[in-house]
Amino acid sequence: MSTENEGTAVPADHPAAPSTPTTPPTPPAPPTAPPASAPTPAAADAPTAAQPPTAAQPPAPEAAPAPAPDAAHAAHTPAHTPAHAPAPESAASTPAPAAAGGGWPPPPPTVPAWGAPPPPAAPEAPRRRTGGLVAAVLVAALVAGGIGGGIGYWAAQRGDDGVSSTTVSSGEAPASFKREPGTVAAVAATALPSVVTIQAKSGGSQGEGEGGTGTGFVYDQEGHIVTNNHVVASAADGGTLSVTFPDGKSYDAEVVGRAEGYDVAVLKLTNAPKGLKPLPLGDSDKVAVGDSTIAIGAPFGLSNTVTTGIISAKNRPVASGDGSGGSNSYMSALQTDASINPGNSGGPLLDASGAVIGINSAIQSTGSGFGQSQAGSIGLGFAIPVNQAKNVAQQLIRTGKPVYPVIGATVNMQEQGEGATIASQGSGGTPSVTPDGPAAKAGLKAGDVITGFGGHQIDSGPSLISEIWTHKPGDQVKITYERDGKTSTATVTLGERTGDS
Q: Catalytic residues, which ones?
A: 230, 263, 345
Helix (H, G, I), strand (E, B) or coil at 240: strand
**Residues pairing with 320 in the sheet:** 329
Counting Cα atoms < 13 Å in the Cβ hemisphere of 194 gives 27
> Nearest to residue 261, comparing CAs of 384, 409, 364?
384
DSSP 278: P
Residues 28 and 68: beta-carbon distance below 8 Å: no
Collect all residues with Cβ–Cβ distance below 8 Å to 116 and sequence separation of at least 6: 29, 33, 51, 110, 124
**Residues pairing with 449 in the sheet:** 421, 482
Neighbours of 72 (CB within 10 A): 14
Q: Which DSSP string do the residues of 59-121 spell out, in sequence order?
A: PHHHHTT---TTHHHHHHGGGTHHHH-SHHHHHHTSHHHHHH--SSSPPTTS--TTTSSS--H
Distance CA 445, CA 440 (A): 7
Neighbours of 137 (CB within 10 A): 14
264-284 burial, b at 16+ Cβ within 10 Å, e below that, comes to: bbbbbbeebeeebeebebbeb
DSSP 144: H
314-344 burial, b at 16+ Cβ within 10 Å, e below that, comes to: bbbbbbbbbbeeeebbbbbbbbbbbbbbbbb
Checking phi first, is residue 325 left (phi over 0); if not, alpha (psi -120 to 50) or beta? left
355-368 burial, b at 16+ Cβ within 10 Å, e below that, comes to: bbbbbbbbbbbeee
Distance CA 220, CA 446 (A): 45
Distance CA 210, CA 203 (A): 8
Residues 225 and 219: beta-carbon distance below 8 Å: yes
Distance CA 196, CA 81 (A): 86
> Nearest to residue 465, comparing CAs of 361, 331, 321?
331
| Cα–Cα separations (whole angstroms), residue 488 to 289, 441, 479 | 31, 15, 8
DSSP 402: -
